[in-house]
């Protein structure tokens, strides 16, 4: 069972979770952009169809993304700042996924009629904002705490929150 879990989590320096997040973030972002373009009147019928299909793809990939993220989260020692940040990331991303599911439900009638529903694109935009915040927080786990990074020195959260600041690599 341990080997199966290790295989699902990915290889050292190559986490499965990070790969899957790129797929889901890309799908959600394309869906939101299509909804917004359709709401602005650009090929609304096609954008209504394509946007919902893209959001559907993000929702499908959300399950394996969450599973691999949970496995990574379980590896973090309890009571550490990294685990606290990862827990905030977890709840933010689950919230984003729920909002995207709501957006999907709100936009579903628009798929049938070839229109972009205001409630659908607004909910999707809220989901995108949560997704961006959760991704930013998730980056802290990797780039500050070096979780699942091979031979990377750890830095402090304050170093990560200053744009353009580079932590020293010779720690």
2-160: CATH topology is: 1.20.120
pLDDT at 170 over 50: no
Residue 126 or 140, more confident: 126
Give this prediction's pTM: 0.83
Note the pLDDT tens digit of each residue in 130-160.
Answer: 999 999 999 888 878 777 666 655 666 666 5
CA gap 29, 61 in Å, rounded: 14
Domain boundaries, the chain: 2-160
Torsional class of 41: left (φ above 0), alpha (ψ -120 to 50), beta (otherwise): left
pLDDT number for residue 155: 60
Q: By mean pLDDT, which of 20-34, 40-54, 56-70, 151-165 is the weakest? A: 151-165
Note the pLDDT tens digit of each residue in 51-80.
Answer: 999 999 999 999 999 999 999 999 899 999
pLDDT number for residue 114: 94
pLDDT at 171 over 60: no
pLDDT number for residue 156: 63
Count of other CB atoms within 10 angstroms of residue 166: 8
């Amino acid at each position: 069972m341990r080997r199966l879990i290790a295989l699902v989590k990915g290889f050292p320096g190559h986490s499965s979770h990070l790969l899957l997040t790129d797929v889901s973030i890309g799908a959600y972002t394309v869906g939101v952009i299509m909804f917004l373009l359709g709401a602005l009147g650009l090929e609304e019928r096609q954008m209504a169809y394509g946007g919902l299909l893209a959001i559907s793809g993000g929702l499908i990939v959300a399950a394996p993304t969450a599973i691999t993220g949970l496995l990574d989260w379980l590896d973090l020692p309890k009571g550490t700042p990294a685990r606290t940040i990862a827990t905030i990331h977890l709840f933010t991303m689950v919230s984003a996924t729920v909002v995207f599911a709501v957006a999907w439900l709100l936009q579903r009638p628009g798929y049938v009629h070839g229109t972009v529903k205001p409630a659908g694109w607004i909910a999707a935009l809220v989901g995108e904002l949560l997704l961006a915040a959760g991704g930013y927080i998730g980056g802290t786990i990797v780039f500050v705490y070096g979780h699942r990074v091979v031979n990377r020195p750890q830095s402090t959260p304050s170093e990560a929150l200053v744009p353009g600041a580079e932590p020293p690599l010779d720690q």
